[in-house]
């Protein structure tokens, strides 16, 4: 009796799939751009303002503000001296500035010296936060991540281990 019930269910599901009309793609829809991840690796010092539609990963020093529509990850050796606005922030290093995001995760090695404004906050044991924490019901990131009208000069330098002679 149970076998009969299971057999009918399988046939019915197969029959439904076969009789459904295939959907046609919307030709008026804009093709979506692939999300890119900007990576500032080890031994990199960035000075300026970064505004991106994608994601950002920082492994060393960043002096300036970061605005990203995606996620931002700051590695354990990373230092951000500026404000951060993004969808999701993961902090394993040091932030000297304010963070506004829908979701903020401070790992055990993470330190934040500034205010936090977010919808969700996750912290690991050992995480350090010094500043005002504001939990919002909803944050409008579209308004906050609009591109600035004026472009800012950006310089990117790489640390060298060579000694310079006078």
Q: What are phi and psi of 28, to 5 degrees?
A: -85, -15
What is the reported pLDDT for 29? 55
Residues contacting 115, CB < 8 A, separation 6+: 98, 99, 131, 132, 133, 134
What are the structure tokens assigned to 48, written together? 């300026």
Taking only the tens of pLDDT, the chain with its 166 residues reads 445 544 554 444 444 444 455 555 555 556 567 789 999 999 999 999 999 999 999 999 999 999 999 999 999 999 999 999 999 999 999 999 999 999 999 999 999 999 999 999 999 999 999 999 999 999 888 877 775 544 444 444 444 444 444 4
What is the reported pLDDT for 153? 43
């Amino acid at each position: 009796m149970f076998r009969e019930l299971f057999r009918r269910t399988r046939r019915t599901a197969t029959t439904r799939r076969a009789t459904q009309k295939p959907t046609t793609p919307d030709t008026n829809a804009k093709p979506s751009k692939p999300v890119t991840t900007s990576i500032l690796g080890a031994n990199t010092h960035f000075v300026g303002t970064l505004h991106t539609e994608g994601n950002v990963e920082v492994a060393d020093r960043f002096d300036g503000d970061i605005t990203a529509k995606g996620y931002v990850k700051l590695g354990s050796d990373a230092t951000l001296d500026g404000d951060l606005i993004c969808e999701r922030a993961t902090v394993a290093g040091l932030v000297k500035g304010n963070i506004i995001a829908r979701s903020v995760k401070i790992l055990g090695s993470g330190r934040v010296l500034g205010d936090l404004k977010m919808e969700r906050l996750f912290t690991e044991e050992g995480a350090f936060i010094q500043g005002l924490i504001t939990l919002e019901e909803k944050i409008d990131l579209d308004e906050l991540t609009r591109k600035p009208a004026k472009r800012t000069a950006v310089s990117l330098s790489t640390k060298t281990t060579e000694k310079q002679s006078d």
